Amino acid sequence: MDDLDDDDLLRYSRHILLEEFGIDGQARVSAAHALLVGAGGLGSPAALYLAAAGVGRLTLVDDDTVDLTNLQRQIAHTHARVGAPKVASAAQAMREINPQLDVRTVQARAEGALLARLVADADVVLDCSDNFRTRQAVNAACVAHARPLVAGAAIRFDGQISVYDLRDAASPCYACLFPPDAQFEETRCAVLGVFAPVVGTIGVLQAHEALKLLAGMGGGLTGRLLMFDGRASRFDSVGVARDPHCRVCGHRPAA
Ligand SMILES: [Zn+2]
């Protein structure tokens, strides 16, 4: 879907009315390819918003199936689709909103040659995964192929999001902040719980940043980590800098 037809002009009219976005932004979004790693709590709202907003090509990768315990927050899935692959369930929800999109599904773990190929083929990558190993693998692939990465995370009442735009020499990568060899305690929703709207908040912000990147609007979260404290309903952000000794991206030319 590269050219906007009359139906598109109606469907996306509220975007086209936006001075900063306009018909050019919508055309760029419609011609773009977004890769979503993870079709769970973060991936569900992100995928639904990207589909509604008309990202022309969307690829979902996730190896998991829908479980009853997911439905409290993973809003792309339904009670009737418990047991179905998450990528198939989310793709069905996306097509019901916007049937003309090219939605592709990969039911596999995002790693290795598969991940490298998917990232190289994407214009923007959304890390909606739930574990440190996948986050590091996605970041390494985005560094290798210089693809912008929108990474989100949420647990209990806390969420965070940043944009690592590897086309910008000054931008850190995910590993500049969270080195792969550091000992982080893996925090999982299955053990600690997660307040449903917190994953929604972060997932929607991931779609928000991805759409701005695809439309060429800039002005996003590159070089800044945005944190959501769901108990106090407060956002805070801190500047984050590139680590010249980063093991993953230290070889990139300096800004
Ligand atoms: Zn780095």
User: 200: CA distance to ligand 1 center in Å?
Assistant: 27
User: In 10 A of CB 16, how many CB atoms?
Assistant: 18
Angle (CA) 128-131-133 rounded to 5° is 110
Tell me, in angstroms, the distance from the centre of ligand 1 to residue 141's CA. 12
CA atoms of 196 and 175, how far apart (whole Å): 27
CA of 186 to the centre of ligand 1 (A): 20
pLDDT of residue 193: 93
87 neighbors 60 (Cβ within 8 angstroms): yes
Distance 143 CA to ligand 1 centre (A): 8
Walking along the chain (255 residues) 10 residues at a time, the average pLDDT comes out as 83 96 96 98 98 98 98 98 98 97 97 97 97 96 97 97 94 95 73 94 98 90 97 98 94 77
Buried b (16+ CB within 10 A) or exposed e, 185-209: eebebeeeebbeebbbbbbbbbbbb
Rounded distance from Cα 122 to ligand 1 centre (Å): 20
Tell how far the Cα of 152 is from the centroid of ligand 1, in angstroms: 17
Which pTM value belongs to this model? Answer: 0.96
Q: Could you tell me the distance, in angstroms and rounded to a whole number, from the CA of residue 242 to the centre of ligand 1?
A: 6
At residue 251, the pLDDT reads: 85
Q: Compute, in angstroms, the gap from residue 134 CA to the centroid of ligand 1.
A: 16
Ligand 1 centroid – CA 223 distance (Å)? 12
